[in-house]
Amino acid sequence: MSAHARVTDEPLNVAGMTELVGRPSAGAIVSFQGTTRDVERLEYEAYREMAEQRMGAIVSEAIQRHGLEAAAAEHRVGAVPLGEASVVVAASAAHRDEAFAGAREIIDRIKAEAPIWKKEIHRGSEGWVDGTPAGGDSMEARGARP
């Protein structure tokens, strides 16, 4: 299985993900971690079933488009304290160009398309982070039209 996507409550394991995408034919493995910064913690909420499905599609499409050997993405939900990873992406390919491009595309698309929301908690105040309109063809921004 060359594509892997998961939403989990557990802390993410970048070493495990890197191992997961390793292949004898892969000369390059790129891994990316998105970490909480500048606030005490973030709380993530996901439409879990859809998020896993969307992430799986994003990973599979990146494998095809960039000719990756394998790729994987995991997103954490619940509280993620300062400095810990909320999302990990790993991509392997024969050469580094494809691995970098594939990993980059996967993280960019997850942020734009996976139905996952985050709330910032800092010094006793909290608030949902303004996001981007969810990726889909129904992009009629309600109420935002002039």
Partner 1 sequence: MIVRVRLFAMLREQAGCNFVEVELDEGATVRDALDELSRRGELGDVLDRLPVVMAINREYAPEESVLDPGDELALIPPVSGGGEAAEANTTDDSGGGGEAAEATDFASGEGYESFMELVGNHVPRPPAYAKLLGMRPLHAEPGNVRFEFHPGEQLLNPVGVIQGGFVTAMLDETMGPAALSELGPGFAVPTLELKVSFLRPTYPGTLVADARVVHRGRSVVFMEGALFDEDGAKLATATATARIVPYKKPE
Residues that bind partner 1 (CB under 8 A): 33-39, 42, 44-47, 49-51, 53-54, 64-65, 75, 85-87, 97, 105, 107-120, 128-146
CA atoms of 62 and 5, how far apart (whole Å): 12
* Shortest distance, position 1 Cβ to partner 1, whole Å: 20
Q: How far is the CB of 19 from partner 1 (least distance, A)?
A: 21
At 90, give phi and psi (nearest 5°): -135, 140
132 burial (CB, 10 Å; 0-12 / 13-18 / 19+) is: exposed
Residue with Cβ nearer partner 1 (21 or 58): 58
Phi, psi of 121 (to 5 degrees): -120, 120
Which one, 22 or 64, has the nearer CB to partner 1?
64
Nearer to partner 1, 24 or 123 (CB): 123
Least distance between partner 1 and beta carbon 70 (Å)? 19
Q: What is the full DSSP assignment across 46-76?
A: E-HHHHHHHHHHHHHHHHHHHT-SEEEEEEE
| In the complex, minimum distance from the CB of residue 127 to partner 1, in angstroms, rounded to a whole number | 9
**Main-chain phi, psi angles of 66, to 5 degrees:** -105, 5
Secondary structure class of 37 (helix, strand, coil): coil
